[in-house]
Amino acid sequence: MASTEIDTGLNPQQPITWFTDRKGVAYGVNGINRGIRWDGFASSVGQLGVTAPSTAPTITPDTGGAASAGDYDCAYRYVARDLEGDVYSNFSAVATVTMTANQEFNWSAMDAPTEARVTHVQLWRTTVGQTNVYYFVEEIAKASLGSHVDQNSDATLIANDDDEIMKLRRHNGEVVANRFVLPPQNRPYGVMFQDRAWYFGSVRLKAVTTTDGDTTVVMVGDYVPATADIAGWHMAIDGEPITYTVVSVSGGPGSSTITLDTACTTSATTVGTLYPPLATHRKLMYSEADEVESVPAANEVTLQDNIGDDQHITGGVPWGATLYVFCERSKYAVSFVRQPAVDASVRLIDKRGAFNNKCIATFEDSIYAMDDQGCYSYNIRGGGSGSTRSVSLSGPIQDQWRDGVIDFSASDNFFVEVDRSAEQVRFWVQMGDGVSDRCFTWNVRRETWDHERYEAPADNGFRGSCQTKLTASGLSQKPRSLIAGSFGRIFCREGNTDVMSQIETATCEASSGTGCTLTDCSAWAGWSTRSYIGATILFEETGQTAVIKTATVSTNKLIITYAETISPVPAATATVQVGVIPWSWTSRRLPVFTPDDTPGGDAQNKRAVQVLYTPFSGAHDTLNLRFFENYSSTPMMFTRGANFTSGIQVSELTLDNHATESLYSDTIHIDLDVDRFSSDVEANGFLELVLSGKFVGGGESLRFVTVEMSGFQGDDKIILHELNFVGFSK
Amino acid sequence: MRDAPIIGEPLRVRDWNGILSDADYQDLPPGAAQWSKNTSCRKPGLLEVRQGLLEVTFDGDSQVTSETNHCIGISTYSHHSGDMILFQLDDGSIRVGRDLGVIS
């Protein structure tokens, strides 16, 4: 892969949240590790903020200077001279020195910077007899840090430029010189809101944990954070009567020993949860104006609990003059004018929230989000206020939330994807199989729902999306949505086939329920073995499908294993198409005409289904029909191989056989090929399937029919214009 | 209540209304589906099969990724020099990709 690695070693249990300031620098936080920053040029990221030196300087008075007689305070700080501007540390500890008149200050014993981004060290001191106003003395390149002589008089320093004079505190107690506090490390979400960076939320890290009746517990996992990251965090252990505080961590990966402040009471293997102190979990920290990396401890706004439910913050999105902060089942609006400490306001909006930070996305003038109640939009500029702007979208598919279809235990993996050019919002979920490969697609303009399943990239599916444009030559630079998932793969929607750029065909040389060996594929099997993972294989003779889990290229053969075992085993010489997209559409339950609702309905003498489609010259696309009578889940059966008319034939595929009647089939094939006639006449895209059956009043006769369309899309796009039902009422 | 039909006049589904699974399937609008997979009713009057997926490559690479770790996050970085893609893998690394294309 021609991407470039710019950082390693982050804890992957919480994905990085990125935001960008107006200088174009990207900042990332995950609530576990120290935050990072990247300017788009450097070969690797830098750490967020600059750690202050701890040791006070040694000041040795000597003759030869211009000091006044009295006490002086001296300190130094680090400077990271970045392309986008300087970033400072707080002052070191202060050294107070008593000078006599006309002495000089000899500075020494200053801590050498250990952080790579630090380039310089600045010396600052007060004038005689005061402790609040510091004056810039000298800036020293990092490599030249040693002893330095300061022979300046107070009058010289007082004449400094304004930006070389700095107070320790303002009159109201706010810190100035020491405002360069590192952003909080335990906040997983960060946004740029107006001229400040805001950090909020908290993580919870769960894993199997074994207690042994003492102060040490063993937590399973490759990514238990280090002592430096979680000392002082809390640990709740199932079965223990109290919550403990983490003292230190050792060992790992695989398992780590965590030392707690108090001995556990049990000896058991259970579940432990690590989390930062709860006192901070509803506090939003904000930076100084235009100083993303300066977050003094006093810069905080608390989300007061206004609904009796102390929920965790799960994400946030800034929009205009408001920062929308989401909890699991509620959201708040935070706004300020100039100084949050003075004029910030927090307002409860409504009781709709978000599963996580990736379940919040914006499109046009609305926020789209997903919580345990379903999918909804929040119109930023709509009429009314608060909850009146929230509109539930998932009503038509609410059974998916209500009836246990969706696996909420996997909600950390859910996300919302916006596709700007297609004007669609996709809500990605898991349905109990551990794979995030399904989404419900909201068509914004038409206000309708589709359901999509993407087998690629296989394994555990997709984990996130973003908007961008492809820039390689020959490709449209329209805005696109990218989705990222297993095996580091990133996909865009392009063409009519999945994973493969076109349908590829081959013949099996060997076959089993778990895989096959393809031959006759030398023209296309020379790619990376990774190229095929997630592609759907269609076995032409049976109509079976399988999804490729692994593929190995061996002397122009492709040895494939399937994601799931298939049965029956396809023939050893089966022919396959690789890259098809399976699809289906099931109609409402259509009522036939009856005399009860239509005078003369029993005189209806024709019942038929008409399909209007766009014909094409493709060989790999299929459209099948199945019909279900009344409330039956077993499809209607037709004589195998029978032709209704040219282009409509009852399937002869074995797998389409009726469950108990081998002479009959469930499935009717419709040929979409423009050349399906043997004559020169091209198909006009209209096919009619005439069904038997006439309403018989009072009997156990046909009352309803459900139509299922399905098939596989190959190189040509399947487009249906109309589906007409003759002999059915609305 | 259903409209009275005209004998012989087909019930035409021209307006595809997507999935309406949380309802009585006998009362759905004609163009609504009990369920569907990989179809799209985004365009008025049409039911289409969704677009395919192709893997994105970076910097003119002609091969798809051989990465073994999984992506856990992705973000667009709108840099002055053009869009970049920042993505995180489950081994704790962060990668950046530029000049996006697809395998053709």
DSSP annotation string for A350-396: ES---SSGGGEEEETTEEEEEETTEEEEEETT-SSSGGGGEEE--GG
Domains annotated for chain A, with CATH where assigned, are 58-167 (no CATH), 205-275 (2.40.30.290), 382-493 (no CATH), 504-579 (2.40.30), 583-726 (2.60.120)
CB neighbours of residue B71 within 10 Å: 25
B10 and A CB contact within 8 Å: yes
Contact predicate A299/A340, CB 8 Å: yes
pLDDT band at B24 (very low <50, low <70, confident <90, very high): very high
pLDDT band at A543 (very low <50, low <70, confident <90, very high): confident
* Interchain proximity B54–A491, CB inside 8 Å: yes
Residues of the domain holding B84 = 56-102
pLDDT of amino acid A598? 62
* Interchain proximity B17–A448, CB inside 8 Å: yes
Among residues B9, B36, B51, the one where a domain terminates is B51
The overall average pLDDT reported for chain A is: 90
First to last CA, chain A: 55
* Interchain proximity B41–A446, CB inside 8 Å: yes
Question: If you average pLDDT over residues A202-212, what whole number do you get?
Answer: 95
pLDDT band at A691 (very low <50, low <70, confident <90, very high): confident
Bridge partner list, A332? A325, A348
* Interchain proximity B74–A397, CB inside 8 Å: no
Regarding whether B63 and B40 lie in a shared domain, the answer is: no
Chain A 132-171, residues with CB within 8 Å of chain B CB atoms: none
pLDDT band at A574 (very low <50, low <70, confident <90, very high): very high
* Interchain proximity A16–B88, CB inside 8 Å: yes
Regarding whether B18 and B47 lie in a shared domain, the answer is: yes
* Lookup: tokens for B87: 């993505």
Regarding whether B1 and B43 lie in a shared domain, the answer is: yes
Backbone angles phi, psi at A599, to 5 degrees: -55, 125
CB neighbours of residue A668 within 10 Å: 22
User: Looking at chain B, which residue has its C-alpha nearest residue A588?
Assistant: B25
Lowest mean per-residue pLDDT among A131-140, A160-169, A389-398, A639-648:
A639-648
pLDDT at A350 over 80: yes
Q: How many CB pairs below 8 Å do chains A and B form together?
A: 389
pLDDT of amino acid A280? 86
B15 and A CB contact within 8 Å: no
User: Looking at chain B, which residue has its C-alpha nearest residue A393?
Assistant: B20
Regarding whether B86 and B47 lie in a shared domain, the answer is: no
Lowest mean per-residue pLDDT among A57-61, A245-249, A404-408:
A404-408
Pairing type for strands B39-40 and A300-302 reads unpaired
Which residues in chain A touch residue B82, judged by CB atoms under 8 angstroms apart?
471
Top-confidence residue, A545 or A1 = A545
Give the gyration radius of chain B's Cα atoms.
23
Tens of pLDDT, residue by residue over A45-58, are 999 999 999 999 99
pLDDT at B5 over 50: no
Tens of pLDDT, residue by residue over A438-496, are 999 999 999 999 999 998 887 889 999 999 988 777 777 888 899 999 888 899 998 99
User: Which is nearest to A370 in space by CA: A334, A411, A332, A407?
Assistant: A411
Question: If you average pLDDT over residues A495-508, what whole number do you get?
Answer: 90
Chain A 453-472, residues with CB within 8 Å of chain B CB atoms: 453-454, 456, 459-460, 463-472
Among residues B34, B51, B68, the one where a domain terminates is B51
Regarding whether B91 and B78 lie in a shared domain, the answer is: yes
Distance from CA of A68 to the nearest CA of B (A): 51
Regarding whether B26 and B5 lie in a shared domain, the answer is: yes
Distance from CA of B6 to the nearest CA of A (A): 8
pLDDT of amino acid A3? 86
Rounded CA gap, A226 and A244, in Å?
17
pLDDT band at B4 (very low <50, low <70, confident <90, very high): very low
Angle in degrees, CA A21, A275, A38, rounded to 5: 25
Question: If you average pLDDT over residues A577-603, what whole number do you get?
Answer: 81
Question: If you average pLDDT over residues B36-57, what whole number do you get?
Answer: 93
Choose the mutation target among B6, B25, B26, B37 for the interface with A, i.e. most A CBs under 10 Å: B37
What share of chain B has pLDDT > 90, as a percent? 56
Helix (H, G, I), strand (E, B) or coil at B88: strand
B92 and A CB contact within 8 Å: yes
Which residues in chain B touch residue A610, judged by CB atoms under 8 angstroms apart?
10
Tens of pLDDT, residue by residue over B47-96, are 999 999 988 888 777 666 677 889 999 999 998 888 899 999 999 999 99
Rounded CA gap, A494 and B53, in Å?
6
A706 and B CB contact within 8 Å: yes
Bridge partner list, A562? A548
pTM for the full predicted model: 0.94
Which residue among A472, A499, A604 places its CB closest to the CB of B100?
A472
What share of chain A has pLDDT > 70, as a percent? 95
Rounded CA gap, A75 and A68, in Å?
18
Tens of pLDDT, residue by residue over A357-380, are 999 999 999 999 999 999 999 998
Regarding whether B20 and B43 lie in a shared domain, the answer is: yes
Regarding whether B84 and B40 lie in a shared domain, the answer is: no
pLDDT at B8 over 90: no
pLDDT of amino acid B3? 46
Choose the mutation target among A20, A475, A477, A487 for the interface with B, i.e. most B CBs under 10 Å: A487
Regarding whether B47 and B1 lie in a shared domain, the answer is: yes
ipTM of the complex: 0.93
Which residues in chain A touch residue B44, judged by CB atoms under 8 angstroms apart?
446
Tens of pLDDT, residue by residue over A214-238, are 999 999 999 999 999 999 999 999 9
Which residues in chain B touch residue A496, judged by CB atoms under 8 angstroms apart?
49, 51-52
A609 and B CB contact within 8 Å: no
pLDDT of amino acid A172? 87
pLDDT at A157 over 90: yes
Regarding whether B32 and B1 lie in a shared domain, the answer is: yes
pLDDT of amino acid A556? 76
Number of H helices, E strands in chain B: 0, 9
Distance from CA of A483 to the nearest CA of B (A): 8
Lowest mean per-residue pLDDT among A64-68, A141-145, A300-304, A702-706:
A702-706
**How many domains would you assign to chain B?**
2
**What distance separates the 2 farthest-apart alpha carbons in chain B?**
67
pLDDT band at A646 (very low <50, low <70, confident <90, very high): confident
Which residues in chain A touch residue B15, judged by CB atoms under 8 angstroms apart?
none
* Interchain proximity A601–B96, CB inside 8 Å: no
Regarding whether B67 and B27 lie in a shared domain, the answer is: no
Contact predicate A229/A185, CB 8 Å: yes
Rounded CA gap, A647 and B58, in Å?
44
pLDDT band at A533 (very low <50, low <70, confident <90, very high): confident
Regarding whether B74 and B45 lie in a shared domain, the answer is: no
